[in-house]
Amino acid sequence: MRTLIVLTLLAVLVMAATCYESRESMESHEYFNPFLNRRRANDFIQADTRLRAITQERIRERSKAHHEHQRELCEDYYPCEQYAFRHGYAAAYKHYFGRRRTK
């Protein structure tokens, strides 16, 4: 009978030592409220930098410089491109597209 009581006390002590919740684990606010609100949920997740770079590229494509737009137009038209090899893209654009007037 004594051995049964001693083994029971020993089992209770082992269980108390291994299952004790330390103060450090209680400090975590996730212990009391495991769910985060939507605003705090994104605080620790960084946006994907590749996605940001792709977005910036798309914005740059929409707002090109005037001379870059002219150069692309000249590159698409073969005679203008050939003229540009000898005289430059500005002169080629002016030669082939400069006479056009928009209404």
pLDDT digit string (tens) for 40-92?
766 666 666 677 777 887 777 677 788 888 888 888 899 999 999 999 988 99
Please, what is the angle between helix 78-87 and helix 66-76, to 10°? 120
Domain boundaries, given as residue ranges, for the chain: 65-102
Sign, CA dihedral 75-80-81-84, equals negative
Q: Which residues of 80-102 are buried (b: 16+ CB within 10 A; e: fewer)?
A: beebbeeeebeebbeebeeeeee
The pLDDT score that the predictor gives to residue 87 is 93
Residue scoring higher pLDDT (14 or 37):
14
